Copies of this chain bind each other. A is one copy, B any other.
Amino acid sequence: MTLLAPASPSVDHDTVAATPVLELHVPTALDRLRRLRAVLPATAVHYAVKANPHPALLRALAEAGASFDVASPAEVRACLAAGARPDDLIYSNPIKLRADIVESASLGVSLFVVDSPEETHKVAEAAPGAAVLCRIVTSGDGSDWPLSRKYGCSTGEAVDILRLADSLGLDPAGISFHVGSQQRDPSAWDAPVEASSRVFATLRDAGLRPWLLDLGGGFPAAHEGPGGTSAPELGAYGAAIRGSLRTHFGRRVPRTVIEPGRSVVADAGRLVTSVVAVVHRGGTRWVYLDAGVFTGLVETLDEAIRYRLETDASGPTGPCVLAGPTCDSADVLYEEQPVWLPLSLAEGDHVVLNSAGAYTTCYSTVGFNGFAPLPTELMT
């Protein structure tokens, strides 16, 4: 059962309308991979498959030597099919179906993230002898899409969990954390790196040999920030993280990995839509596009992620509400903080959402209201 292929069907020009479509430029993703490696040269890059599992993208990343961050057997199989080795994978979902651990271990996966004693016992039973990272909680301050309290434990709990792992015959490999998606503050890694260093020191004092620190994702794409600001350059993140590692681990910096998804693939995608209608409602201009919340644009909920827009209309601009094509009233992209688009914008014009390569095709519904999932067209 391969679930990932239909997530981003390739466009067949004989049967699918020209829009909406995600134009995916894989070379841009490879450039972003190279840039992440350049700013963190001693750190392995595990691409977070959930951001965009297109098979051509996974293949290109695997060929370029990337590793992968996976969260289900379907993602494991997609990576292996793309040419990755099982050792290239971190199963980073802290809560796992027992059957999924068994299946992934049978496929060769040997490194799992946990964040509770319960899950540590489960991994010990379902994948005996595997290595585990323990995820600690972070504040999420400074990110556009902050993570909830769904995952992560305290440093004290992490020590106990990794000692438990050791006692259960698992390899207590180290710590993982996540500073929140589209993180705009390069110094956000400092506190969890410091916290991790304390866990490492305590474990070493106890005779364990932790060896891996998973710095998570959160590196930004070129979305519009609060007040139209943009995020710092990746170089600032590399410098800040390298500095934190030196400061808190000194000469005993462990192996490190990062798990970028958005920062690898978001800027590689342009979501091309067409204007269905422009309607004036009580002094407000409403622009309806042929893609919306149910065809991939879930991250506009609460207007958290703001895509940079381009249109083929021109002339003076004005504010408008942006909405999707389904008859669901929740299918509105930006209303509280309107977008500015040309006043000449009309039915049939294209509106392009930039940096839309991540968390779009994979978030599409199966076809709510009869509107097809967002397809992908590979650009050369």
Contact = CB atoms under 8 A, between A and B. Distances in A.
Contacts of A332: 148, 150
Contacts of A366: 6-7, 361-362, 364-366, 373
Given A148-B335, A281-B149, A3 B72 contact: no
B150 A97 contact: no
A150 B150 CA distance: 33
A9 B218 CA distance: 35
A276 interface: yes
Contact of A277 (B116, B149, B329, B364): B116
A150 B331 contact: yes
Contacts of A312: none
A17 B371 contact: no
B363 A365 contact: yes
Interface string A292-313: 0010000001000000000000
Nearest to A53: B370
B147 A97 contact: no
A286 interface: yes
A323 interface: yes
A1 interface: yes
Nearest to A154: B282
A108 B49 CA distance: 44
A369 interface: yes
Given A150-B286, A367-B3, A95 B373 contact: no
A327 B94 contact: yes
Contacts of A331: 150
Contacts of A4: 367, 370
A50 interface: yes
26 contacts: A3-B370, A4-B367, A7-B366, A50-B328, A50-B370, A71-B326, A71-B370, A72-B369, A74-B371, A93-B369, A115-B279, A116-B279, A116-B280, A118-B279, A118-B347, A146-B329, A148-B330, A148-B335, A149-B282, A149-B284, A150-B323, A150-B331, A294-B363, A361-B366, A362-B368, A365-B365
